[in-house]
Amino acid sequence: MSSNKQHCNSYEWRGFMLDCVRHFMPISFIKEILDQMARLKLNRFHWHLTDDQGWRLPIKARPLLIEKASTRIDGDHFIGGFYTEEQIRDLVKYAEARDIVIVPEIDIPGHVCAALHAYPSLSCPGHETRIPNTWGIFEDVLCAGSGETAIFLNDVFETVLDLFPSPWIHIGGDEVKDDRWKNCPKCQKVISDNNYPSERSLYSHILSPICQLIRSHGRSVIGWDEMLESCPQEDIIIMSWRGEEGAIEASKQGKKSILCPHEYFYLDYPESKDDPIPGADWMPTLSVEKMKTYEVPKIEGILGLQSNLWTEELLGPKEARHRIFPRLETLAKKCHQKTSPQLKTSEKVN
């Protein structure tokens, strides 16, 4: 098998993200993707495992995450699935043999409706949250004032650290509404007791202990670019998806970043409005030609590039393949054309 190791003109991070939450993707298909990544010398498989619409990761201390949070009913359709510990360990080895690191993502403190469905005590209202069949940003978040939240997250991330030897653990941190926190007496008490200036501080209240746990195991934390605003004090790698601004700000703060601006690297976007898969009528389009025009900004701290595939409209492997190829080849070519030399941030930002 050909080596997938870094060449001098390649970025350190050459990534692809697969969302297996909105629609479950079988292990056989993931191995197929890993084979294709190895062929293209891509080396980071970002595995999105939890979100509002489901929970795919087994946590022994929290069995209801599989029993209740891994499935949902949409009309006459049963949508669900989860990965066993054995499957995960096997997949990690499969990827390692191809010089690919699997980077797991557990998205917190928002995008947690499925977890709150299984464990209502983690929510601000304290009642069972339904698992949605729609997409978007929901009000339900982890409750900063619940004594169960920190215990739950410790159970989850201790398992993640055990299952995945990855040097990086992704904790999400994106698209979090604070309406629940504003109206929750328990959260307001946390703000008062800690002299926090606002609800914004509750992000760090929840996420900082997890960042510390991950770092205590010698790993690095990755988060979406919203974490620059919610947890600016944390030493994390920023995944810049809302354009390049996240990478630019990360560089100002001395942080590393990974570029995946949605308008150039979100493969769930159809190539044209004629795409037969639902969603083409409202999604932006992303052609191979547009991807080819992308130029990496010359700023310090960019580890590399990544394409993301969200599966809201992709029911299974057939639809996923349709969106992934041939655009993944275009990403790979970009990953092997490292911008050099890097300019200092002060030369980039006036």
The reported pLDDT for the residue numbered 6 is 57
pLDDT digits (tens, 9 = 90+) for 14-24: 999 999 999 99
Q: How confident is the model at residue 243 (pLDDT cuts 50, 70, 90)?
A: very high
Catalytic residue among 111, 117, 170, 205: 111
For the segment 84-109, the average pLDDT, to the nearest whole number, is 98
- Please say if 51 is a catalytic residue: yes
Choose between 37 and 341: higher pLDDT: 37
The reported pLDDT for the residue numbered 8 is 72
The reported pLDDT for the residue numbered 127 is 84
For the segment 68-93, the average pLDDT, to the nearest whole number, is 95
Is the pLDDT at 344 greater than 80? The verdict is: no
pLDDT digits (tens, 9 = 90+) for 184-227: 999 999 999 999 999 999 999 999 999 999 999 999 999 999 99
Kindly report whether the global pTM for this prediction surpasses the value 0.85.
Answer: yes
The reported pLDDT for the residue numbered 75 is 85
Is the pLDDT at 55 greater than 90? The verdict is: yes
Q: How confident is the model at residue 5 (pLDDT cuts 50, 70, 90)?
A: low
pLDDT above 90 as % of the chain: 90
For the segment 125-136, the average pLDDT, to the nearest whole number, is 92
The reported pLDDT for the residue numbered 7 is 65
Question: Are residues 281 and 338 in contact, defined by beta-carbon separation less than 8 angstroms?
Answer: no
Catalytic residue among 51, 105, 174, 300: 51
Catalytic residue among 139, 148, 175, 329: 175
For the segment 266-292, the average pLDDT, to the nearest whole number, is 95
The helix/strand/coil state of 151 is helix
The reported pLDDT for the residue numbered 74 is 86
- Please say if 90 is a catalytic residue: no
SS3 letters across 288-344:
HHHHHCCCCCCCCCEEEEEEEECCCCCCCHHHHHHHHCCHHHHHHHHHCCCCCCCCC
Ordered domains of the chain (ranges, CATH): 17-348 (3.20.20.80)
Is the pLDDT at 29 greater than 50? The verdict is: yes
- Please say if 111 is a catalytic residue: yes
DSSP per-residue codes, 90-130: HHHHHHHTTT-EEEEEEEESSS-HHHHHH-GGGBSS-SPPP
Task: Supply the mean pLDDT for the chain.
Answer: 94
